[in-house]
Amino acid sequence: MAQHGIRAQQRERTRQKLLGEGRRQFAAQGYGAVGLAEIVRAAEVTKGALYHHFSGKAELFRAVLEQVQGEVGRRVAEAAEAHDDPWDQLVGGCQEFLTASTAPDVQRIMLVDGPAVLGWSEWRAMDEAASARHLSEALAALVKAGTIPPQPVEPLARLLSGAMNEAALWLASSAGPEDLAHTRAALDRMLRALRDT
Amino acid sequence: MAQHGIRAQQRERTRQKLLGEGRRQFAAQGYGAVGLAEIVRAAEVTKGALYHHFSGKAELFRAVLEQVQGEVGRRVAEAAEAHDDPWDQLVGGCQEFLTASTAPDVQRIMLVDGPAVLGWSEWRAMDEAASARHLSEALAALVKAGTIPPQPVEPLARLLSGAMNEAALWLASSAGPEDLAHTRAALDRMLRALRDT
DNA sequence: GTATTCACATACCGTCGGTACGTCAACTTG
DNA sequence: CAAGTTGACGTACCGACGGTATGTGAATAC
């Protein structure tokens, strides 16, 4: 679709190189410590190219964040869809989110710099569109099915989302391999406690 | 102790003015959007004074963050000590943390910019010293008392801490007054679910 | 085949964090 | 109490970096 024409092809290639290098450097050094000069040098283009594709440093970061969040959201959705039971979908999605968010580039870009660079509310909107939406929907479905007691799902979704974000960051820092198992177990207990029993 | 001498007095006064203005501006506009020129202008000193007290912009921010975290930690500790029962201490401390973290300057400085500016691991260390420590200790005490089942407390503390951080951010954005009540209720259920019953 | 567009490259500017150095009052010492 | 020393700043300046204005040549349209 965007393939016709040698010009559109080159355009897309350049954009991808900028996105790729941006992602690598933002992940490795953090947004503040990365200079545009280094990005365009590594991408083998110039600042003119960057500013032709993006309105500035922040929007390049935004595009990178969108890509990272998209990948995480896809993984979560796939993990959820692997189950039929709505409850298993919730648990599977949460576990997969915890795993996916342990990757270092996801950590720095999505969890640390994201809110600071774009502001929390904008970050929140993107997070909602990418993956938090699945969490809210899963919880709402479980309320409707009577698996968990009737209650507003938004506060609950926020609590769980924050819990998983922070746990993922902690896992990457202090990871003995048993920590992951312990965290999964604790998260599992937390989720199971939502149920009526 | 640091009061003797007109010089030490003036020194402390200047430092406080820098800390105060830094806090105000970092909270209002975010770390990245604030210039040192504006801070020293509002504090009625010069950049020379700032660099005499702090090694740079990041360390000024660090000092501000330390102050904010100290205040939050004190409030949490006081709320906890108001109860005798260890369980009530945990619940009271958590509820107070949620309330304290809803203030806008706390949000931006402690929850959004903190990890991005100092790096997550350093932020984590400061958070631990200020308030997260109380959480871990409370949980450990409850495990020891047999109120909640034996389990590693660190993963649990991280999950709960992240849950409260994110919930506080959400509350400030979307706050209908019933949202606070719903969130407190959901957090309460989450905590209660830890108990054996 | 000519005109036009578009995807960049080049050159340049203002701002901002950081540094080197000067200064004058406050403390110390004999 | 006077000379010397320290310390809490103020001043002037620099390099780096984000952003912009403008040039250019190949691809596309007509």
CA of B19 to C1' of C14 (A): 28
Does the structure show a pLDDT above 60 at B2? Answer: no
Does the structure show a pLDDT above 90 at A39? Answer: yes
Give the pLDDT of residue A176: 85
pLDDT tier for residue B197 given thresholds of 50, 70 and 90: low
Question: A128 CB near a chain B CB, below 8 Å?
Answer: no
Does the structure show a pLDDT above 70 at A72? Answer: yes
A150: left (phi over 0), alpha (psi -120 to 50) or beta: beta
Report chain B residues whose CB lies below 8 A from the CB of A116. Answer: 30-32, 112-113, 115-117
Name the closest residue on chain A to residue B109, using Cα atoms.
A116
Give the pLDDT of residue A3: 56
A44: left (phi over 0), alpha (psi -120 to 50) or beta: left
pLDDT tier for residue B1 given thresholds of 50, 70 and 90: very low
Report chain A residues whose CB lies below 8 A from the CB of B167. Answer: 155, 158-159, 162
Q: Is the pTM of this model over 0.85?
A: yes
- Residues making up chain A, counted from first to last: 197
CB contact under 8 A, B30 and A193: no
Task: Give which of B91, B88, B194, B94 is closest to B149, Cα–Cα.
Answer: B194
Average pLDDT over residues A33-60: 98
Does the structure show a pLDDT above 60 at A182? Answer: yes
Give the pLDDT of residue A2: 42
CA–CA separation, B96 vs B80, rounded Å? Answer: 8
Name the closest residue on chain A to residue B115, using Cα atoms.
A112
- B118 SS3 class: helix
Give the pLDDT of residue A142: 96
Task: Give which of A29, A169, A41, A161 is closest to A111, Cα–Cα.
Answer: A169
Query: CB within 8 A of A128, min separation 6: which ones?
Result: A136
Give the pLDDT of residue B3: 58
Report chain B residues whose CB lies below 8 A from the CB of A173. Answer: 120-121, 124
Question: A163 CB near a chain B CB, below 8 Å?
Answer: yes
Does the structure show a pLDDT above 80 at A197? Answer: no
Q: CA B5, B11, B15: angle at the middle one, nearest 5?
A: 150
Average pLDDT over residues B109-124: 98
CA–CA separation, B59 vs B164, rounded Å? Answer: 26
CA–CA separation, A159 vs A153, rounded Å? Answer: 10
CA–CA separation, A42 vs A22, rounded Å? Answer: 9
pLDDT tier for residue A135 given thresholds of 50, 70 and 90: very high
Burial (CB count <10 Å: 0-12, 13-18, 19+), residue A140: middle
pLDDT tier for residue A1 given thresholds of 50, 70 and 90: very low
Does the structure show a pLDDT above 70 at A73? Answer: yes
**Range of lowest pLDDT (A5-9, A29-33, B2-6, B23-27):** B2-6
Report chain A residues whose CB lies below 8 A from the CB of B169. Answer: 120, 124, 162
Question: B196 CB near a chain A CB, below 8 Å?
Answer: no
Question: B139 CB near a chain A CB, below 8 Å?
Answer: no
CA–CA separation, B12 vs B20, rounded Å? Answer: 12
CB contact under 8 A, B165 and A167: no
